[in-house]
């Protein structure tokens, strides 16, 4: 390692009971050169006191006056980040100890066209079930290099597993703040369109489901998915994945009992 400092952006909202675990997993990293920017998105619980209980000069705490959503909070973190490598974490998840070291080793050995390095997330469900993200059934060659065609079909990159070059963010742009869900997926599509990726085929992050997670709000999530399909329908069609994306979405809507609403919204974005 050459001592490159990594800026870690961690947005949080009312996670006082969980954020300590996330912070501790960062402080225990074997790669020690980092700054941790915690963006409190208007929490109304004891988050501030929990964060300030950690006396580490690498931690910077920013409290927003009101809740503005994860896209806005991450953008604030990026603005304050001082370094040319940026990693992201979520306040309810846990990094494994060698996560950052392994990613930096790959990043520093990669050519400039590789803009991001990510790894596998192990998902822990509410009832004890586990899964892996990205799916292990996906071939490794689809997870590396020019991943944009596969990204259009499904997201591959969990935000807490991502390390990215700052210059790539400057070219791809910031998070779209109008998205209240799937803002990370939309942003990854812009990164994946411009830069290649490296994938570390091992679990780097443990992701824990929460009952109140924004992605469990079906109306918000489905609305965001419709918007995404409308934004990227031409690219999806070009790479031959539009039909499968639409059919999978409709199948999920049918299973959840909201087929008519989703079909109407999809028809509108596909015809415009």
d(CA 90, CA 107): 21
Residue 156: strand, helix, or coil: coil
CB 87 within 8 A of CB 205: no
d(CA 244, CA 257): 20
- Nearest by Cα to 34 from 104, 94, 112: 104
**pLDDT surpasses 90 at 78:** yes
- Span 157-175, pLDDT tens digits: 999 999 999 999 999 999 9
Confidence of residue 1 (pLDDT cuts 50, 70, 90): very low
Average pLDDT over residues 111-127: 96
What pLDDT score does 213 carry? 58
What pLDDT score does 3 carry? 80
- DSSP H or E run through 51: helix 47-52
Average pLDDT over residues 120-145: 96
Q: In 10-22, which positions are buried (b, 16+ CB within 10 angstroms) versus exposed (e)?
A: bbbbbbbebbbeb
Confidence of residue 219 (pLDDT cuts 50, 70, 90): confident
What pLDDT score does 65 carry? 93
Confidence of residue 212 (pLDDT cuts 50, 70, 90): low
CB 176 within 8 A of CB 64: no
Looking at residue 145, the DSSP 8-state letter turns out to be: B
- Span 252-269, pLDDT tens digits: 999 999 999 999 999 999
Question: Which domains are assigned to the chain?
Answer: 6-211 (3.90.550.10), 217-271 (no CATH)
- Nearest by Cα to 58 from 83, 90, 41, 76: 83
What pLDDT score does 50 carry? 97
Length of the chain equals 272
Instruction: List residues bridging with 9 in a β-sheet.
Output: 37, 88
Average pLDDT over residues 190-199: 98
Question: pTM for this one?
Answer: 0.94
**pLDDT surpasses 80 at 147:** yes
Name the average pLDDT for the chain.
95
What pLDDT score does 214 carry? 46
d(CA 236, CA 233): 5
What pLDDT score does 197 carry? 98
**pLDDT surpasses 60 at 2:** no
Structure tokens at 65: 């006056």
């Amino acid at each position: 390692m050459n001592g490159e400092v990594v800026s870690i952006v961690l947005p949080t909202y009312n996670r006082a009971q969980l954020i300590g675990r996330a912070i501790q997993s960062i402080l225990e990293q074997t790669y020690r050169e980092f700054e941790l920017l915690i963006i409190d998105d208007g929490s109304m619980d004891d988050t501030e006191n929990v964060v300030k209980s950690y006396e580490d000069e690498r931690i910077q705490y920013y409290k927003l006056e009101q809740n503005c959503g994860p896209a806005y909070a991450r953008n604030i973190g990026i603005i304050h980040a001082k370094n040319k490598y940026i990693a992201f974490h979520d306040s309810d998840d846990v990094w494994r100890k060698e996560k950052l070291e392994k990613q930096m080793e790959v990043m520093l050995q990669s050519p400039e066209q590789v803009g991001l390095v990510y790894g596998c997330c192990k998902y822990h469900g509410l009832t004890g079930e586990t899964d892996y993200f990205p799916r292990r059934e996906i071939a490794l060659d689809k997870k590396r290099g020019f991943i944009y065609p596969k990204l259009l079909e499904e997201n591959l990159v969990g935000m807490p597993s991502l390390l990215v070059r700052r210059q790539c963010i400057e070219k791809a742009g910031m998070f779209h703040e109008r998205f209240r869900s799937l803002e990370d997926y939309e942003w990854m599509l812009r990164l994946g369109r411009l830069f290649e990726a490296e994938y570390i085929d091992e679990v780097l992050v443990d992701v824990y489901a929460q009952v109140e997670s924004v992605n469990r709000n079906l109306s918000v999530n489905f609305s965001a998915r419709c918007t995404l399909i409308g934004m990227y329908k031409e690219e999806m069609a070009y790479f031959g994945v539009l039909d499968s994306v639409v059919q999978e979405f409709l199948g999920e809507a049918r299973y959840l009992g909201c087929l008519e609403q989703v079909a109407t919204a999809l028809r509108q974005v596909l015809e415009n």
